[in-house]
Amino acid sequence: MFEISRRTFLWITGGSSIALATDPPRKLVNKLIPKVIPPEEIRPGQWTFYATTCRECPAGCGMHVAHRDGRVTKAEGNPEHPINRGGLCARGQSSLQGLYDPDRVVRVLQRAGDGKTGRKSWDEALDAISSRLRSGGKVAILSSLQTGALADLMKRFAAAFGSNRLLFYEAFNYEAQRAAHQRVFGLPVIPRYDLENSDFILSFAADFLETWVSPVSYARQFAAMHGYRDGAPPNRMAYVGPRLSMTASNADHFFQVAPGELRLVAAALLKIIMDRGWQRNDVSSVRPALETLIASFPPPAVDQGSLVALAQAFSHARRPVALAGPGAASGPAATDAALCVALLNYAAGAVGTTVDFSRPHALSDSARDHELDLFFASLGPQDVLFVLDTNPAYSKSGAAAQIGRAGTVVYLGSLMDETASLAHWVLPIDTPLESWGEYQPEPGITGLTQPTMGRLHDTLGAGDVFLTLARKAGRPLVTERGSGPQDFRGWLRERWNGSEQNWNAALGQGGAWQTAASGSGMTPSLHAEGVTFAARPAAVPVRPDEAELWPWPSIMLFDGRLANRGWLQEAPDPVSFFVWGNWIDLHPRKAAALKIDDGDQVRLTTASGSLRATVRITTEVSEHAVAVGLGQGHAALGRNARGVGANAFVLLGGQQSGYFTTCRISRVTGDALPPIRTSIERKQLHRDVVQSVRFSVLRTMKPGDGDRLHLPLPEDYRPERDMYPPHQHNKHRWGMVIDLQRCIGCGACTVACYAENNIPVVGRELVADGREMAWLRVAPYRVPEQPWRYAWLPLLCQHCDAAPCEPVCPVFAAVHNEEGLNAQIYNRCIGTRYCSNNCPYKVRRFNWVNIEWRKPLDLQLNPEVTVRQRGVMEKCTFCVQRIRQAEYQAAREGRPVRDGEIVPACAQTCPAGVFTFGDLMDPNAAVTRLTRTDPRRYHLLHELHTKPAMTFLRRVENDLV
Amino acid sequence: MSGPEKKGVPRWASYAAATAILASALAALVYLNRLYPVGLGPRQPIPFSHRVHAGIKQISCFMCHDSATRSSRAGVPPLETCLLCHARIIRNYPWIARLRGHVAQNRPVVWERVNWLPEFVYFDHSMHLMRGVDCGHCHGDVRQMDRVAKARKFEMGFCIRCHKKNRVTHDCFACHR
């Protein structure tokens, strides 16, 4: 008998009994399943990219969706697409979470008379609906904004059943702007705004960097015009509005006015321009109307000197442009403001140059309020109402009751939202990433949508549902050319003339577009007779407990359709840095008058409804306004969205309530969950983390002037300051440059990083404990001495040469790698968190819990990145998986890695071109040039001598205007 | 004189002893890898023999594992690849007939995986082949394997030893990310 120690005995028995009792599930699936006949050009272990079009909002950006082994894992901007040119916003990034949403409707549901829902098969559903149509049901279709093949098909479907009731419902329909353009120019459209070539943007509460019309395109154009190019002063932007939105804090001049004063400021500017003869086009015919408007109200609370300066800057700019917002506003006051803006554009000569009416945006076809009212009023028991992928029951107050009047409501969508819960039939349809389609955001640009992977669930394409229904009801649809394609793909294909080769080329490119000459706009003439202002004083708050309501669309959640996506709920609001919820903004004076404290529960009441939310007291909102974000407060939709925040759409409704009208504020008792903030301090506390340089100084600097940086290279080893020997790098030393003048704070990079690096969404409770996992945050900091400016600091791991995290790790899990990256080796990490304590930039994140990816969200996980487990520290890796991929590719092709070949996820998605990534040891790389010679360069917390690989370029204060 | 009759060893016992000796000899052969000099891997749904294909017929590894030189993965060949030859030769051998049945029905064969790495290790076949590492260095002599077996334990020590010997990267980020 061999000797066995007591310790070994216990170890063996204890271990084996635990193993037997728990039977730990093995993660590994030890099966290999090759294809029988593989598709061409698809190799195991390699990415395949599908070009498609983002349909998360009506902007229609081009996307490349990365596909691997039958599933898609990442959406990126299509660099060739004329709308976004490679950028993508946080919402576009989240399209994958829409596809893999665990709360998706996965089977056909029928709601019986007793309100219970039961499962049905597709055949049962289509038979029942088509027999209803055959027996005289009248068709009405309410859809999200569609163009091209699907729009044509729905029109023909409605016509086949003797109806023309087809409306494209968008909660943000730019009604005021379209009405104003109708009256001033006879063109009820949203024109194309050329911001890139403009040198002065004047925004009237148009949040064009967030949600307004085509935000990725405008963000790119704004960064191009507002960024610093060698020697030239950055162009300027002014913002007039009641709330310091993200767009507003990017403005060089912010004028805070009450909502009702927007039109007055616009009118006053127009009058100044006319009085002083600064106009380029004659608008004197509208002077009487304008003077009536100005005389009907007290003057706006902006001093005359500033107004004159603004009017001068605007009218004397080479190519000025004025933008009218907000997109969701309607009613006389909003139309008045948009009228004044249209006239300003006309007077300043912007129409035909920066405002191009020849290329109206697709949103010009969305339903207008009176069309919607007529549509809803026409619904009756004979009607079969189809609702496609839009949610009026949530975003239009009163719509739920009117939808209920339709005899049969058929909902086609992918989530069980508020409208779906009213429907008799819920038909699960493909998400845009699974379907064929096309979308034309403006004439001359048609994006194609193609399936990027096979279907996840038992769903059908919306077009196929309509085609099948028509066929089953005995009225098969025919195309323009008279043919009757069997499926929607055939329908789409037929609209694309030309050979199979052209079609495949278009699919590969993501659509078809002409390279348009800019500024070739038509110049519509002024219809002065159309210019009449409502001129009725808006209900100016008379009671002390009333204020003008200012609902604003959230950059993350848009009109609320995206509220079930964890990434977007956990991505902070750019200005307040709140996550998971919405809140009410109130000015301190108003709050004091009503005896409301920060964090109190407050009820807002308008004629159409009321909501309750936590109050935030801030001067960011006008004293006469109360602001609340749209998009939250869902009663349905899914587990992430339900019960988070309050729905501000209930306050809007008709002309009696909503924008430019008052709402009552009352303090209520009760405890709701307060909003959580992931960046607590917005003051810089003299740490000077976000630095800027005056343009007058910068102008005199030559390349190479400026700070002497301590680069993360052996040449900057200082024996007197460095405690550890210098790092020798083999071939590369990766570095990044961040241009703070270009950063607009949109947070797309944060969400892209979540998508690329398998970062878990931890949920509200854990975020409240400070346990969010974002590797990259874009925290807002106050710009010193400028009350209305925030500057954003994209903060990710600085990949220091003398990294404070590395020497404190007892197990060498935080190590410097051969190419200069601060590597975090998860399988070695034991979770002491010393590294995080020692990191001066606070960019390390600790896994406090094991995160369960709710199925099928786990299909989104990037197979090139380890999924971390509890007890492990993690941080930015500079997307080392992409570096390796590029290096291996270069090695296989026997060439060096090219500069610009490696693009980390944050840099890829950034619409503003903030990030530059490359090799600091390559003398010709862009990062080397910027790091060594750009006069704006600085290192964050340089006094610590960490020698970071991240170089920031200072913001430029334009003091020469 | 009587005493216990000296009995011969019972016949069953000598059989048992012979069996035991034979069995232990067999066990010793198996243990010493004499019977299967390269080990015996898991049973596969179709008994594909690497010994026949790579050994006797001298077919190159890259004939079937064609993405090894250009991708991180070597790639398990699609069934189409088998039919490159077996559409013409040895069509009616029962297992090959079954294989052709799979192809006809577009039904993949579910192979048992033999070599695997933990999920936090990222290995790239193409880079190792570029540096001239022979397949057999990690996968053993598959030319002798009927059922492919795991030739090496893919533990970190195995990787590092070779990386050290060849003075190539010791970067943790080379494999862990």
**A38, A866, A880 ranked by CB distance to B78: nearest:** A38
Q: How confident is the model over A847-866, as pLDDT tens digits?
A: 999 988 998 999 999 999 99
Q: Is residue B37 part of a domain?
A: no
pLDDT of residue B55 exceeding 60, the answer is yes
| Residues of chain A with C-beta less than 8 angstroms from the C-beta of B172 | 815, 817, 823, 825, 828
In the structure, what pLDDT confidence band is assigned to residue A117 with cuts at 50, 70 and 90? Answer: confident
Q: What are phi and psi of A401, to 5 degrees?
A: -65, -40
Nearest Cα of chain A lies from the Cα of B34 at a distance, in angstroms, of 28
Q: How confident is the model over A812-845, as pLDDT tens digits?
A: 999 999 999 999 999 999 999 999 999 999 999 9
Closest chain A CA to residue B119: A866
pLDDT value of residue A530: 76
Contact A30 B112 (CB under 8 A): yes
Q: pLDDT averaged over chain A? A: 90
In the structure, what pLDDT confidence band is assigned to residue A93 with cuts at 50, 70 and 90? Answer: very high
pLDDT value of residue A540: 57
Nearest Cα of chain A lies from the Cα of B76 at a distance, in angstroms, of 6
Cα angle value A42/A886/B129 (rounded, 5°): 75
Domain with B128, as residue range(s), is 50-175
- What's the rounded mean pLDDT across residues B140-154? 89
**A36, A44, A866 ranked by CB distance to B103: nearest:** A36
| Residues of chain B with C-beta less than 8 angstroms from the C-beta of A816 | none
Contact A818 B169 (CB under 8 A): yes
- What's the rounded mean pLDDT across residues A434-458? 93
Q: Is residue B110 part of a domain?
A: yes
Contact B171 A819 (CB under 8 A): yes
Residue labelled with tokens 């609001």: A573
User: Most B CBs within 10 Å: which of A37, A69, A878, as the mutation test of the B interface?
Assistant: A37
- What's the rounded mean pLDDT across residues A390-413? 91
Tokens of A625: 């306004």
Query: Is the separation of the CB atoms in A454 and A70 below 8 Å?
Result: yes
Contact B171 A43 (CB under 8 A): no
Query: Is the separation of the CB atoms in B79 and A37 below 8 Å?
Result: yes
Q: How confident is the model over A137-178, as pLDDT tens digits?
A: 899 999 999 999 999 999 999 999 988 999 999 999 898 999
| Residues of chain B with C-beta less than 8 angstroms from the C-beta of A34 | 75-79, 108-109, 111
pLDDT of residue A512 exceeding 70, the answer is yes
pLDDT value of residue A233: 85
Taking the C-alpha atoms of residue A463 and residue A144, their distance in angstroms, rounded to an integer, is 13
In the structure, what pLDDT confidence band is assigned to residue A569 with cuts at 50, 70 and 90? Answer: very high
Contact B71 A28 (CB under 8 A): no
Q: Is residue B54 part of a domain?
A: yes
**B73, B107, B176 ranked by CB distance to A44: nearest:** B73
Q: Is residue B41 part of a domain?
A: no
| Residues of chain A with C-beta less than 8 angstroms from the C-beta of B163 | none
Contact A866 B177 (CB under 8 A): yes
Taking the C-alpha atoms of residue A131 and residue A409, their distance in angstroms, rounded to an integer, is 14
CATH number belonging to domain A692-957: 3.30.70.20
- A175-364 topology per CATH: Dimethylsulfoxide Reductase; domain 2 (3.40.228)
**B69, B79, B176 ranked by CB distance to A826: nearest:** B176
Q: How confident is the model over A726-741, as pLDDT tens digits?
A: 999 988 999 999 999 9
- What's the rounded mean pLDDT across residues A319-326? 92
- What's the rounded mean pLDDT across residues A734-757? 95
A433 CB-near residues (< 8 Å, 6+ apart): A52, A65, A72, A75, A95, A96, A98, A99, A451, A452, A453
3-state secondary structure at position A420: helix
Contact B177 A884 (CB under 8 A): yes
pLDDT value of residue A863: 93
pLDDT of residue A114 exceeding 90, the answer is no
Restricting to B residues 116-155, those with a Cβ less than 8 Å away from any Cβ of A are 116, 118-120, 122, 124, 126-127, 130
Nearest Cα of chain A lies from the Cα of B20 at a distance, in angstroms, of 24
| Residues of chain A with C-beta less than 8 angstroms from the C-beta of B170 | 818
> What class does CATH assign to A546-674?
mainly beta
pLDDT value of residue A419: 93
CA distances from A502 to A7, A427, A507, A510 (A): 74, 34, 9, 12
Side-chain-side CA neighbours of A79 within 13 Å: the count stands at 5
| Residues of chain A with C-beta less than 8 angstroms from the C-beta of B69 | 892
Tally the domains of chain B: 1
Residue labelled with tokens 């055939």: A490
- What's the rounded mean pLDDT across residues A482-491? 89
pLDDT value of residue A85: 92
pLDDT of residue A924 exceeding 90, the answer is yes
Domain ranges across chain A: 108-172+366-513, 175-364, 546-674, 692-957
pLDDT of residue A458 exceeding 50, the answer is yes
User: Most B CBs within 10 Å: which of A28, A29, A32, as the mutation test of the B interface?
Assistant: A32
Contact A44 B169 (CB under 8 A): no
| Residues of chain A with C-beta less than 8 angstroms from the C-beta of B78 | 34-38
Q: How confident is the model over B104-137, as pLDDT tens digits?
A: 999 999 999 888 888 899 999 999 999 999 999 9
pLDDT of residue A535 exceeding 70, the answer is no
Contact A881 B71 (CB under 8 A): no
| Residues of chain A with C-beta less than 8 angstroms from the C-beta of B133 | none
Closest chain B CA to residue A819: B171
Q: How confident is the model over B59-115, as pLDDT tens digits?
A: 999 999 988 998 899 889 999 999 999 999 998 999 999 999 999 999 999 999 888
The count of residues in chain A is: 961
CB pairs under 8 A between A and B: 118
| Residues of chain A with C-beta less than 8 angstroms from the C-beta of B176 | 823, 825-828, 866
Taking the C-alpha atoms of residue A825 and residue A815, their distance in angstroms, rounded to an integer, is 8
pLDDT value of residue B1: 46
pLDDT value of residue A654: 62
pLDDT of residue A1 exceeding 70, the answer is no
**In this complex, is the C-beta atom of B46 within 8 Å of any C-beta atom belonging to chain A?**
no
Q: Is the dihedral of CA A886, A888, A893, A894 positive or negative?
A: positive
Q: Is residue B66 part of a domain?
A: yes
Q: How confident is the model over A897-916, as pLDDT tens digits?
A: 999 999 999 999 999 999 99
- What's the rounded mean pLDDT across residues B38-53? 88
In the structure, what pLDDT confidence band is assigned to residue B153 with cuts at 50, 70 and 90? Answer: confident
- A108-172+366-513 topology per CATH: Rossmann fold (3.40.50)
User: Most B CBs within 10 Å: which of A884, A885, A895, as the mutation test of the B interface?
Assistant: A884
pLDDT of residue A39 exceeding 60, the answer is yes
Taking the C-alpha atoms of residue A937 and residue A953, their distance in angstroms, rounded to an integer, is 4
Q: Is the dihedral of CA A182, A185, A189, A190 positive or negative?
A: negative
Q: Is residue B5 part of a domain?
A: no
- What's the rounded mean pLDDT across residues A465-478? 92
Nearest Cα of chain B lies from the Cα of A43 at a distance, in angstroms, of 7
In the structure, what pLDDT confidence band is assigned to residue A480 with cuts at 50, 70 and 90? Answer: confident
Q: How confident is the model over A540-564, as pLDDT tens digits?
A: 556 888 898 999 999 999 999 999 9
Q: Is residue B23 part of a domain?
A: no
What is this structure's pTM? Answer: 0.92
Burial label for B12, CB within 10 Å (0-12, 13-18, 19+), is exposed
Q: How confident is the model over A306-320, as pLDDT tens digits?
A: 999 999 999 999 999
Q: How confident is the model over A762-800, as pLDDT tens digits?
A: 999 999 999 999 999 999 999 888 888 999 999 999 999
Q: Please, what's the b/e burial string for A283-301 (b: 16 or more CB within 10 A of its CB; e: otherwise)? A: beebeebbeebbeebeebe
pLDDT value of residue A557: 92
Contact A44 B103 (CB under 8 A): no
In the structure, what pLDDT confidence band is assigned to residue B7 with cuts at 50, 70 and 90? Answer: low
Helix (H) / strand (E) element for B129: namely: helix B125-130
Taking the C-alpha atoms of residue A187 and residue A14, their distance in angstroms, rounded to an integer, is 81
Nearest Cα of chain A lies from the Cα of B1 at a distance, in angstroms, of 45
Percentage of the residues of chain A whose pLDDT score is greater than 70: 97
DSSP designation for A374:
H
* Pick from B147, B75, B153, B78: nearest CA to B108: B78
